[in-house]
């Protein structure tokens, strides 16, 4: 069935970020489908919102703009009434970054003279106050993000960061206005407009702030935000939170976890799974590189175990082990070697009957989804903030689809890998 009109059309600049946004939209009551890249044809699944997952966060700005405009064209053709450009809740965008150029390109295409931008995601401790982004109790530039290999965030003031990327003037809708509610926000927007400001960073330190902000954004053609703002927009379309939006087909088949994330939360999740006495198999990049280990060997290990419960295959390692591997193989080479291997394991496991698969790691998830030739996902119930179960319908009529949970590295509680399957059951 084709949806007559999409309410919200979303463009996400990375893969797990797309799922994170979709998750919040579903919790707010929308039926959501995520497409991997821009779909080539109209959607055949009923949806109130579509999230187009791009991989445009760190590519050259001109390419990010071109891909985002292509996504915009598809979403407009599907009738989208508001466009949501989803960016990272830690902004992940330096002066050379893409958030400003893409926001302005979308505004130009939509004829919008004003847009807001806020990465606030209070559920995950990302808050904005006086335009400064906090991660937990500290500023962005003290959160570890100042050392990010691709997008070092050394300035926590988002008005300055955004201004460095934009032609339009950037201003601030501060907490005083947000706390006072819709009328105050609208008055602040009018004042900023009169001052020649085209884009405003918005303060928000709680979900209540976002919910107060939402009504003032009704009819704004494009918003740029982390996933947090998603909780506040569906009400503008008369939609209330419900559990029916999150219903997926029943789960069946065998279960497995793949982890290529070396983030601290994932390392704890791997240790927790192992401590339950469940079967685990590590992949060592150096042994892969030397040919001493292979995808076939991993699959031969997994095959007899799958019938008894979930297995975990992981390359996750602590920072010193990763650094040593990177020195020997090169950072890029080590990463793509591991991604390729885990993607091969994902394909082999699905061929062996796995139909419930948890993948940890943003890049790792992208590689696995690509290897599995998944082109669209229906978004289901949340497992932990930012991570829902998803369902990829089979292209073969009558064949069961695949349930996938794609976890960004630092998301999820320590028992995530076992909790996820318990929830699906």
Question: Contact residues for ligand ADP (CB under 6 A)?
Answer: 260-263, 266, 285, 315-317, 322, 325-326, 334-335, 338-339, 361-364, 408-409
Judge whether 307 and 254 are in contact, CB under 8 Å: yes
Residue 26 phi, psi dihedral angles, 5° rounding? -65, -45
CA 98, 101, 105, 111: dihedral to nearest 10 degrees? 130
d(CA 347, CA 373): 9
Nearer to ligand ADP, 122 or 362 (CB): 362
CB 399 within 8 A of CB 296: no
* Closest approach of ligand ADP to the CB of residue 101, in Å: 24
CB of 138 to ligand ADP, least distance (A): 20
The phi and psi torsions of 362 (rounded to 5 degrees) equal: -65, -55
Q: Which helix (H) or strand (E) holds 169?
A: strand 169-173
The smaller minimum CB distance to ligand ADP, of residues 45 and 280, is found at: 280
HSE-CB for 151 with a 13 A CA cutoff = 21
Q: Find the shortest distance in angstroms from Cβ 284 to ligand ADP.
A: 7
> Nearest approach, Cβ of 259 to ligand ADP (angstroms)?
8
Shortest Å distance, C-beta 51 to ligand ADP: 18
189 or 406: CB nearest ligand ADP: 406
| DSSP string of 208-236, one letter each residue | HHHHHHGGGGTT-SEEEE-SGGGGGSGGG
Are residues 310 and 251 in contact, defined by beta-carbon separation less than 8 angstroms?
Answer: no
For the chain, the maximum distance between any two Cα atoms, rounded to a whole number of angstroms, is: 69
Closest CA to 358 of 299, 304, 294, 423: 423
Q: Which two tokens stand for residue 301?
A: 């290990």
Nearest residue (CB) to ligand ADP, 234 versus 344: 344
In the bound state with ligand ADP, the residue whose beta carbon lies nearer, of 109 and 289, is 289
The residue among 202 and 359 lying less far from ligand ADP, judged by its C-beta, is: 359
Give the three-class secondary structure for 134.
strand
Kindly tell me which of 178 and 367 has the beta carbon lying closer to ligand ADP: 367
Q: Which is nearer to ligand ADP, 34 or 263 (CB)?
A: 263
User: Cβ of residue 258: shortest distance to ligand ADP, in angstroms?
Assistant: 10
Contact in structure between 208 and 127 (CB atoms under 8 Å): no
From the CB of residue 91, how many other CB atoms can be counted at a distance below 10 Å? 24
Tally the C-alpha atoms within 13 A of residue 277's C-alpha that lie toward its C-beta.
1
Kindly state the smallest distance separating residue 261's Cβ from ligand ADP, in Å.
3
- Please, what is the minimum distance in Å from the beta carbon of residue 78 to ligand ADP? 29
């Amino acid at each position: 069935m084709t949806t007559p009109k999409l309410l919200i059309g979303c463009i996400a600049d990375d893969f797990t970020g797309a799922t994170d946004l979709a998750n919040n939209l579903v919790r707010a009551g929308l039926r959501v489908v995520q497409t991997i890249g821009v779909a080539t044809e109209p959607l055949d699944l009923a949806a109130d919102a579509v999230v187009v997952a791009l991989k445009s966060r760190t590519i050259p700005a001109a390419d990010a703009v071109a891909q985002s405009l292509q996504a915009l064209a598809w979403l407009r053709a599907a009738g989208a009434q508001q466009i949501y450009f989803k960016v990272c809740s830690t902004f992940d965008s330096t002066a050379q970054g893409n958030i400003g150029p893409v926001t302005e390109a979308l505004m130009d295409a939509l004829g919008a003279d004003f847009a807001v931008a806020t990465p606030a995601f209070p559920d995950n401790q990302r808050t904005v106050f006086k335009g400064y982004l906090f991660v937990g109790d500290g500023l962005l530039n003290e959160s570890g993000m100042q050392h990010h290999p691709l997008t070092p965030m050394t300035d926590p003031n988002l008005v300055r960061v955004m201004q460095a990327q934009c032609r339009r003037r950037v201003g601030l809708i501060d907490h005083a206005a947000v706390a006072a509610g819709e009328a105050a926000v609208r008055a602040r927007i009018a004042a900023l407009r009169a001052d020649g400001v085209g884009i405003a960073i918005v303060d928000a330190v709680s979900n209540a702030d976002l919910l107060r902000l939402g009504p003032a954004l009704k009819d704004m053609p494009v918003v740029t935000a982390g996933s947090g703002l998603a909780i506040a927009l569906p009400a503008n379309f008369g939609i209330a939170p419900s559990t029916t939006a999150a219903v997926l087909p029943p789960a069946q088949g065998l279960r497995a976890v793949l982890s290529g994330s070396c983030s601290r939360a994932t390392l704890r999740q791997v240790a927790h799974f192992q401590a339950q006495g469940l079967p685990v198999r590590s992949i060592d990049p150096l042994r892969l590189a030397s040919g001493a280990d292979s995808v076939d060997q991993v699959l031969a290990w997994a095959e007899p175990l799958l019938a008894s419960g979930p297995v975990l295959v992981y390359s996750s390692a602590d920072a010193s082990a990763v650094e040593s591997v990177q020195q020997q193989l090169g950072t890029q080479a080590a990463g793509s070697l591991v991604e390729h291997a885990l993607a091969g394991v994902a394909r082999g496991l699905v061929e062996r009957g796995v139909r419930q698969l948890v993948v940890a790691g943003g890049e790792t998830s992208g590689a696995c989804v690509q290897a599995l030739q998944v082109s669209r996902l229906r978004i289901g119930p949340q497992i932990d903030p930012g991570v829902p179960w998803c369902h990829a319908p089979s292209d073969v009529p009558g064949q069961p689809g695949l349930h996938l949970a794609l976890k960004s590295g630092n998301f999820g509680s320590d028992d995530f890998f076992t909790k996820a399957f318990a929830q699906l059951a």
